Amino acid sequence: MRPVSIIIFLTVLISASCVSHGEKHPLDTTISVNEYASNFNIIEGDTGNRILRVIENWSGKESVYDYQLIPAEELKGRDIYENEISVPPARVVCMSTSHIAYISALGQVKSIKAVSGAKYISDSSVIELFNAGKISDVGFESSLNYEALIELSPDIVFTYGISGENNIYIEKIKALGIKVIAVGDYMENHPLGKAEYLRFFGALYNCSEKADSLFKLIREEYLSAKARAEQFGEKKRVLLNAPWKDVWYIPGEDSYMSRLIKDAGGVVLGGKKGEFHSYPNSIEEVFKLSYNADLWLNPNNFQSVLDLKTSNPLFGKIEILSKGKVFNNTKRNTETGGSDFWERGVVEPHLILKDLINILHTNDTLSINLKYYKMLN
């Protein structure tokens, strides 16, 4: 953990790989170190100028992009350079539902003009605007509607990066002269690291004070719940996920989900120490682990105990299944396949943690008392 109060005084010129016009940043700048998030920083200049630094490392090599955040009125009547962002943005496109959650939490939903995969969205205000024709759906990476993007003329397209050919669409958007900012929230393995992206969007929307206040509240609630979980003592052993095409993926102990379970007073069976990646296991290997499990969490898309039992004859022999100790994070799923756990949940890790504490320690089997989880019957 790196305290937010730490300020590193930069003594060298800050260079950015996206600067295209040769302008240099001033020497008198400070960079605020985040508490949990590792893929962005906000740089403050002594003259009031601000820079949003985005660290992209999903491809295995780290690239740093600095975006100068400039008030819209200061950019009127002149060309906008590649690394300059007009703030606050009035028209944005969200390629991930998590982007919607941050923007919504800051009260800036009306700036969203398009999304990717509208049927997977949970936010009621965004759904309402989509149904009213005020938000459009531009499709997915491999089938993006570039003509619609040109017509929308957004200030920013918020996207995410993945390695390989799936990233080609980002370069195509840039080639159209549309600004793209890759948001690395999905790469943060600490739940509070994801939530800290409120500060990322707060800087862009000129509401950093509100973003800081929201994050502070979330952090305090999360750490308070974690401290309460520590009082229960013994760690609960958790069987996590379910097979996908006969392969059972289990995340390492440092992953997002494993961290949540750890902070709730549990431990993921089969999770590798010091790892955040998920690793494949055979069904038989994990079945052996199930003998030691106290409960089962997140069994993919299974919605009932019967579905689990009929999907594989081995599952009927798992003791925790017969005892009803199975919970899934699908309580707030939409009928069209949206998951609010992965949408709104990024700014509510404290509520997810409280769900898990109730499930692990208080034998709270009533789904009505849980926000994101439900017990499978």
Measured N-to-C along each axis, helices 124-131 and 97-105 cross at an angle, to the nearest 10 degrees, of 110
Whether 158 contacts 181, CB under 8 Å: yes
Whether 203 contacts 260, CB under 8 Å: no
Q: Secondary structure of the chain: what % helix, strand, coil (to 5)?
A: 35, 20, 45
Q: What does CATH list as the number for 230-375?
A: 3.40.50.1980
CA 342 to chain CA centroid, Å, is 7
Distance CA 122, CA 107 (A): 16
Before 88, cis peptide (omega within 30)?
Answer: yes
**Global pTM exceeds 0.85:** yes
Q: What is the 3 state secondary structure string of 324-344?
A: CCEEECCCCCCCCCCCCCCCH
Q: Is the pLDDT of residue 222 over 70?
A: yes
Q: What percent of the chain has pLDDT over 90?
A: 76
Of 100, 97, 142, nearest to 117 by C-alpha is: 97
Confidence of residue 20 (pLDDT cuts 50, 70, 90): very low
pLDDT tens-digit profile of 53-110? 999 887 667 889 999 999 999 988 888 888 999 999 999 999 999 999 999 999 999 9
Tally the C-alpha atoms within 13 A of residue 274's C-alpha that lie toward its C-beta: 0
Q: How is the chain split into domains, by residue range? A: 1-75, 230-375
Q: Which pLDDT score, from 0 to 100, does residue 106 have?
A: 98
pLDDT tens-digit profile of 282-314? 999 999 999 999 999 999 999 999 999 999 999
pLDDT tens-digit profile of 163-217? 555 678 998 999 999 999 999 999 999 999 999 999 999 999 999 999 999 999 9
Confidence of residue 47 (pLDDT cuts 50, 70, 90): confident
Q: Compute the chain's Rg from CA coordinates.
A: 22
Amino acid identity for residue 97 in this structure = T
Task: Provide mean pLDDT across the span 329-354.
Answer: 97
Q: Where are the beta strands (DSSP E) in 46-126?
A: 50-56, 63-71, 84-87, 92-94, 112-115
pLDDT tens-digit profile of 227-258? 999 999 889 999 999 999 899 999 999 999 99
